[in-house]
A and B are shown apart, each in its own frame.
Chain A
Amino acid sequence: MKNLIKYLVRRGESYVWDEVIVFDKNNLEGETEVRAVVEDGGSIKLKGKILIQKDAVGANAFLRFKVLLLGKTSRAQVDPELEILTNDVRASHAASVGQIDEEQLFYLMSRGINKKDSIKLIVEAFLS
C-alpha cells in the first residue's frame, strides 16, 4: 500500500494533517508520503504517527513529510511520531523542510523561462 497526499497551501490558508497509521496483523506493509508546498503567508502542520501493535510481526512502515516553503512568511510544523510495541519490524520516518533549490531555479531561468514560471514548474514537479 502506498499513499501520496499532496497539499498546495495558498496565502492566508492554514492546513492541518493529523493521522495515526495503525499496523497490526491485518496491515503489515505501508508507505505514506505527504508533500506540501506552502506559499507566502500560508501555514501547514503535519502530524502523523506510525503505531505498530504487538501482533504486527514483520511489519514494514514508512512515513515521509516533505515541505517546500515559498515566500518569506510561510510556516510549517512537522511532527512525525513512532510508537513501536514489538521488535520484529522495520519502521522509519523522515521529514524535511526547505526552499526551492537555487540551482534548479538558475538552470530553468538560464533556459529563458522567467522566474515566476520557473517556480511554477518546480512546484508542479514537486507535487507530481
Chain B
Amino acid sequence: MPEDNVFKAKRGLDESVVTTISQIKDEPKWMLDNRILAYKKFLDMKMPSWGADLSGIDFANIFYYVKASQKTEKSWDDVPADIKTTYDRLGIPEAEKEYLGGVKAQYESEVVYGSLMKKFSDQGIIFCGMDEALAKYPDLVQEYFGKLIPMGDNKFAALNTAVWSGGSFIYVPKNVKVDMPLQAYFRINSANMGQFERTLMIIDEGAFVHYVEGCTAPIYSTDSLHSAVVEIFVKKGGRCRYTTIQNWSTNVYNLVTKRAKVEEDGVMEWVDGNLGSKTTMKYPSVVLVGNRAHGEILSVAVAGKGQHQDAGGKCIHLAPNTTSRIISKSISMKGGRASYRGMIMMAPGAKNARSKVVCDALILDKKSRSDTYPVNKINESEVTLEHEATVSKIGEEQIFYLMSRGFTDHEAEAMIINGFIEPIVKELPMEYSVELNRLINLQMEGSVG
C-alpha cells in the first residue's frame, strides 16, 4: 500500500517535534506547555523493568505524528477511497456503519471520519475526536485531562502526553443512557509509526455508555509502538463499559495505561481482549472512591509464537462497601507467554469492601509459558478478599471424548478453548464475539500435534 500521507513528522523525538505537533493542531498554550513538560518527564523517567522485555523499542526510529488527510471528514462520502478500501478489507459491514451510529475511525493518527447521529447530539452527548474536543470544549478538556493519569504516572503515559494525537472524547450528560455501543476503529497503517491516541470519557450522574474499541493492523517488518492513555470519570450512579479487542500485528509493542475513577454507586466494567501485538503491557484499573462503587475487569489473553501478553487489572478500594471482580483467562501456545499481573488494594476505611479475583490459564504445548503475579494489599480489616488461579493443559479425556464423537483433534481443541473463554466472550457485542472466536481458531491452526 502506498504511503500517501499528507503530513508526516520526522523520525525520532525531540522538543521541536512536540512543538510541531501542537502547532499543526493549533492547540491552546496550556496544552503545548503540558506536552513540553511531559516530554521532559519522559526523558527523565526510567523504562519499567518489572514486566515484559521492552529492550526492542527504539524511540529514535519512530514517527510520532502522521496525518492522513487534512481535515476531519463530515460524512462517509467524503472519506478518501483508499481509506474506505482498507476498512472494507477489515470486513466492517456497510450496514453496521450506519446502525452503529457514531463511528469514529482513527486512520494514521487522526480521526478522519466522524458522524454523530442527530439523536445523540439532541441528548447532549458529545462523541468526537480528542483534537476536536480540545478546540470545541477547551474548558471541559482542561478540567479532566491528565487528572486521573498524570504525565508522571509512568514513562509511557509521559510519552503519550507529549505526543498524543487522535483518540476519542465522550461526555454523557446526567441520566442519559446511550442505547447503542459507541465504536472506534483504530488502524496503524504506516510502517514504523507509533500511535499515541488519547481518550477521555466523562459519564455524568446516572448516565450509561458502552464504548467499543477494536484494533487491527497489517504486518510490517519493523517494530512499531502503540502507547495509548485512556481516562474515564464515572460520576455518582453512572455506569461505563469499555470493551477492547486488541489485535495489533505481531511486531507492535502495545503499552497502554487505562484507568477509571468511580464515584458513589457507580459501575465501571473493562472487557479486555488481547490477541495480537509482540508485547502487550496493559492493566485496566478501577479506582473506587465512592460508597458502594463497583469495578469489574474481564480479561482474555492469547499468546502465540513470539508473543508476550502481560495483562491483568487493578482495583483500588478507597471507600466503604465497594466491590470488585477480576476474571482473567489466558491461553499460551506455540512458545507464547501469557502473564496475569494484577493488584487489589483496600485502603484503611474501606469497610465491608469485597473483591474476588479468578485467573485461569491454559498452556497448549511444552514450549509455552504462563505466569500469575497478583498483589493483594489489605489495609482494612473488615473486608473480604478471595483470589484463585489455576494453570493446566487441555484435559486428554475431554479431547478423547470429543474425538470419539467424530470431531477432529483440531475441532475438539478449538471447542474446548471456545468454552474456556465463553464467560468473557458472551459479554462482547455479537460481532466481536464471532470475530474473537474466529481469530483464536485461526491462531490455533497447526498447533495440534
Query: Could you show 17 A-B contacts with beta carbons less than 8 Å apart?
Result: A73-B348, A75-B379, A75-B381, A78-B378, A78-B387, A79-B373, A79-B374, A80-B372, A84-B391, A86-B366, A90-B391, A91-B390, A91-B391, A93-B387, A94-B386, A97-B384, A99-B381
Q: A86-B366, A95-B386 are in contact. Are A77 and B393 (CB under 8 A)?
A: no
Residues of B within 8 A of A (CB): 348, 361, 363-366, 368-379, 381-393
Number of chain A residues whose Cβ lies closer than 8 Å to a Cβ of chain B: 34
Over the window 67-104 of chain A, the binary record of Cβ atoms lying under 8 Å from chain B Cβ atoms (1 yes, 0 no) is 10111111111111111111111111111111100000
For the complex, what is the distance from the CA of A85 to the CA of B338, rounded to whole Å? 11
- In A35-84, which residues have CB < 8 Å from any B CB? 40, 54, 67, 69-84
**What chain B residues lie within 8 Å of A96 (beta carbons)?**
384-387
User: B371 to A84, Cβ gap below 8 A?
Assistant: yes
User: A84-B370, A87-B366, A92-B389 in contact; A99/B382 too (CB < 8 A)?
Assistant: yes
Give me the interface of A with B, judged by CB distance under 8 Å: 40, 54, 67, 69-99
How far in angstroms is the closest Cβ of chain A from B360?
Answer: 9
Bound complex: CA A71 to CA B348 (Å) = 13
Shortest A15–chain B CB gap in Å is: 14
> A90, B381: Cβ atoms under 8 Å?
no
Most buried by B among A71, A89, A92, A99: A92
* Docked CA distance A84–B363 (Å): 9
A interface, by DSSP: helix, strand, loop or mixed? strand
Contacts of A93 in B (CB 8 A): 372, 387-389
Which single residue of chain B is at the shortest CB-CB distance from A47?
Answer: B375
Instruction: Across the interface, name the chain A residue whose C-beta is closest to B341.
Output: A81
Give every chain A residue within 8 A of B390 (Cβ-Cβ). 90-92
Q: Which residues of B contact A97 (CB under 8 A)?
A: 376, 378, 383-385
> Distance in Å from the Cβ of B299 to the closest Cβ of chain A?
16
Q: Nearest 10 CB-CB pairs, A to B? A: A87-B363, A82-B372, A92-B390, A69-B381, A97-B385, A94-B388, A95-B387, A87-B393, A76-B378, A91-B391
